[in-house]
Amino acid sequence: CCRWSSGTQLVTSSGDTTVRIWDLSRRGCILTLRGHSRAVRSCSWHSCGDFVASASTDSTSKIWDVNSERCRYTLRGHKESVNSIEFLPFSSTVLTSSADRTVSLWDVRTVSRL
């Protein structure tokens, strides 16, 4: 998966368990986020540009703080691979879909399902 941020940055998810931030003006990867134990299938930018969400075949999703370069929250609750993730625009809500045939809304401030 790959998603544009505003400007020249791009986020990608990978089978090597990483999430990478690329800056096209610098012509390369500027940040590699590690923490998933299996392939990362999807990623999404928060509208403010400071956070990235990732969804993995390890049955978790993560919210990453790009400025501190760390995982802020790990979302657990799906029983199988999390296949997609998306921030709702201008909110703290994330939508995930899973191979367990469920869709979940999460409030990332409380790390809970809505």
Q: Give how far Cα 102 sits from Cα of 1, 22, 71, 81, Å.
A: 20, 31, 24, 11
Looking at per-residue pLDDT, the higher value among 21 and 112 belongs to 21
Query: Taking 90 as the threshold, does the pLDDT of residue 17 lie above it?
Result: yes
Indicate the domain borders of the chain: 2-113
Give me the residues paired with residue 3 across strands: 11
Q: What is the percent of the chain with per-residue pLDDT over 70, rounded to a whole number?
A: 99
Query: What is the DSSP code (8-state) at residue 12?
Result: E
Q: Is the pLDDT of residue 94 over 90?
A: yes
Q: Which CATH architecture has domain 2-113?
A: 7 Propeller (2.130)
Using a pLDDT cut of 90, give the percent of the chain over it: 86
Identify the sign of the CA torsion 66, 70, 71, 72: negative
